[in-house]
Amino acid sequence: MIKGHPQLTRNGELKHLLTVEGLPRQVVTHILDTAAQFVTPAEGGDGELGKVPLLRGKSVFNLFFENSTRTRTTFEIAAQRLSADVQNLNINASSTSKGESLLDTINNLSAMHADMFVVRHAESGAPYLIAQHCPPHVHVINAGDGRHAHPTQGLLDMYTIRHFKKDFTNLTVAIVGDILHSRVARSDIHALTTLGVPEVRAIGPRTLLPTGLEHLGVRVFHDMDEGLKGVDVVIMLRLQNERMSGALLPSAGEYFKYYGLTPARLARAKPDAIVMHPGPMNRGVEIDSAVADGPQSVILNQVTFGIAVRMAVMSIVAGHNH
């Protein structure tokens, strides 16, 4: 494998998907193009492929050390549509609570002839550790690690933007809210800049924006009305309620007053701006229901496209075995 690129083979092909950061533009575009073949007309695409036998005979293990029903379900549906055998393991309830180490768990599952691990873990870097220690024929997909990355969410967000806006090179995209704790925001920022988006904005209170965003080429705004002026895409982030009680924020109501996306605020963006949210949404905290259910919202499209994007990633990483 290329040094410093634990996810690419020597030929520059995708072996694991661990992060969007550092992925070449052509690899990202290849994933989006492949996903387009899996979005059926009923789902708003032109793809011909419904259920396909690309992963027939392969075993995909969903290893969720941290709960996420929706991400796990979309990976499961994606694997089933590729004709794979899917095993869901809710591991926080079993082996790790008995004191078994992460790598022991992986070794045991590898011995059960796993071909692919989809890993969600509260510790940043856990999928990298697994990728370094699993047998050479096994592929690892990061379904979210700590505060670090959520690459398939970043990719499905890019697919959604491309579907509605066609071209990345003339867009202004605003990411709003709790960027400090958000692995989705990190993956989105890397993906947007890789795909040539000229202006990425981060909007939020100082306490929820990490330092150094400017080094990633991001324009920082603390005023929502100012930050939304003339944008094409608004990506709202979940305010993680469990952090509400801390010193970071006064209250949910106060947050909504300054950073909630209301119809009046959205009117500052372009008239054809789209509104996205990785979910689950806190209605009345970061987004008004009138916007979430309104004509500019593409939040349900994101979920639908997420299945096709995850199918694309799984079929591409597994392609080394064909």
Task: Give the residue carrying structure tokens 């979910």.
Answer: 279
262 annotated among ligand-binding-site residues: no
Amino acid at 6: P
201 annotated among ligand-binding-site residues: no
Question: Measured between alpha carbons, how far is residue 5 from residues 2, 134, 187 in Å?
Answer: 5, 16, 16
Measured CA to CA, the distance from residue 68 to residue 196 in angstroms comes to 31
Decide: 238 and 231 in contact? Cβ < 8 Å: no
279 annotated among ligand-binding-site residues: yes
120 annotated among ligand-binding-site residues: yes
Q: How many residues does the chain have?
A: 322
Task: For 55-83, give the DSSP string.
Answer: TTT-EEEEEESS--HHHHHHHHHHHHHTT
Question: Measured between alpha carbons, how far is residue 65 from residues 23, 162, 180, 233, 261 in Å?
Answer: 26, 32, 22, 32, 32
150 annotated among ligand-binding-site residues: yes
The tokens of 237 are what?
């982030």
238 annotated among ligand-binding-site residues: yes
219 annotated among ligand-binding-site residues: no
183 annotated among ligand-binding-site residues: yes
147 annotated among ligand-binding-site residues: no
Measured CA to CA, the distance from residue 39 to residue 301 in angstroms comes to 11
> Would you call 165 helix, strand, or coil by DSSP?
helix
Phi, psi of 201 (to 5 degrees): -115, 145
Give the annotated binding-site residues for L-aspartate: 98, 183, 238
Give the annotated binding-site residues: 70-71, 98, 120, 150, 153, 183, 238, 279-280
Give the annotated binding-site residues for carbamoyl phosphate: 70-71, 120, 150, 153, 279-280
